Amino acid sequence: MPTGTPSGAQTLERGLAVLRELGRHTDGLSTAQVAEVTGLHRTVVHRLLVSLVGTGFARRDARGRHHVGPAVTALAASAPLALRDLAAPLLQDLADRIGLAVSLVEVEEGAAVTTLVAHPAAEGPQFAYRLGHREPLDRGAGGIAAVASAPAVDDEPVAVTLARYAGVAVTHGELNPGAHGLAVPLPGWAAPAAATVVSYDPAVVERVRTPLLETAAEIGRLAP
């Protein structure tokens, strides 16, 4: 049985690597430059570029530089918008109304990852995670609520089952001492997700429960 990457899959991976670099270099790249940034042999790059140009996924300008082609634009236009793109204006409006940062958490590679943070216009002390912040799925309101947005599975944590039933996850000090977390599951998207608010004041967290639930319902109506 042959080992290593199959030739068809390898060609696809190389073609995608070329497209990725063309997308990063908006001024275009020559064949030699594509070979340099991808680490591929120039002969391989030449064959890939000829194929990509022929299918419309790349285009070659008068200077001999290559760019992303119209087929990529058409393909991107046909894809549904990601949750974070659709949720961004709604979460920003919520953050401005409640005066607290609101985070979008999505499950990626076994962790609850912060993929969007909406900061309120008003200045003041805020609790907000950085983009890309990772948390466990079995502790913290965001991770628990995100898992609860997916269908139930056998032996899931009790906290997840309760969050799915109640429509909200509430935690205290599980990840950050003294912090109160409130998160609402966002079902119906490609990845399990939740909208989250964290504060050190329990009264504040309780105050934003209804606005957070209402915003989550609005986001839910946008699900594909």
- Predicted TM-score (pTM) of this structure: 0.65
Within-domain flag for 133 = yes
- Say what the pLDDT of residue 1 is: 38
pLDDT over 70 at 79, yes or no: no
* 132: its two tokens: 């890309």
- Say what the pLDDT of residue 3 is: 46
Query: Which whole number is the average pLDDT over 161-181?
Result: 93
Strand order in the sheet with 193-199: 134-135, 111-118, 102-108, 193-199, 180-185, 169-172
Give the tens place of pLDDT for each residue, 107-136.
Answer: 998 999 999 999 988 776 667 678 888 999
Q: What percentage of the chain exceeds 90 in pLDDT?
A: 64
Query: Which whole number is the average pLDDT over 2-29?
Result: 80
Q: Are residues 71 and 98 in the same domain?
A: no
Q: Residue 79: what are its φ and ψ, rounded to 5°?
A: -85, 140
Closest CA to 186 of 157, 154, 213, 211: 213
CB 144 within 8 A of CB 134: no
Using the 8-state DSSP alphabet, how is residue 121 labeled? S
CATH number of the domain enclosing 61: 1.10.10.10
CB 95 within 8 A of CB 120: yes
Q: Which domain holds residue 127?
A: 83-220
CB 197 within 8 A of CB 102: yes
Q: Are residues 92 and 69 in the same domain?
A: no
Within-domain flag for 2 = no
Residue of higher predicted confidence among 37 and 26: 37
Within-domain flag for 192 = yes
CB 61 within 8 A of CB 28: yes
